[in-house]
Every structure is written in structure tokens, then in C-alpha cells.
Amino acid sequence: MTSDADIAQQAILEAVDTQLENNNPPITRETWSRLRSEGFTSDEARKLIGYALANEISEIMNNGDTFNEARYSQNLDNLPDIPWEQ
């Protein structure tokens, strides 16, 4: 049986894949490339980007915000540090 957490994680990774495929926002692909050059595997880089995206979604849901590209970009720039560990 698939848990809600597994479903959410899969949805986040699919969103990351879409961002990478569409190069939108470009910072996502730039971050993926940077993480790869730092020695992370493709899957590890995708998961790290997923943490930044999950954090942005959490901000939207918890605070009634709209997508904040500047905040998302900052979280991507800070990877591999996880947003909620900063």
C-alpha cells in the first residue's frame, strides 16, 4: 500500500522533472547542474531540489502565500543545505 507521504514525494519529484524538462524556472536546471558537478547523483540532485520545492509548497499552504520565485531560488542556492535545517 502506498502512503500519502510516498504519493506526495512522487508528486514533488514529478514537478522537479517538469521544471528540469521545461527549464522553468531556469534556476532549477542550474541548481541540478551545480549539484551534479559537486558529486551528487542525478537522483540525489533531484531529491535535494525536491526539498526546496516542498519547502516552497509548505510556505504557500501554511501562510496563504503565492509562489515566491525569489524565496524558492534562495532555497535552491543554499542546497545541499536543506531549507528547514537552516
pLDDT in tens, 49-65: 999 999 999 999 999 98
- Expressed as residue numbers, the domain containing 41 is 4-85
Q: What is the pLDDT of residue 86?
A: 58
pTM greater than 0.85 (yes/no) = yes
Mean pLDDT of 9-25: 97
For the cut 80, the answer to whether the pLDDT of residue 1 exceeds it is no
Structurally, the chain folds into a number of domains equal to: 1
* Burial class of 9 by CB neighbour count within 10 A (0 to 12, 13 to 18, 19+): middle
How many Cβ atoms sit within 10 Å of the Cβ of residue 16?
Answer: 23
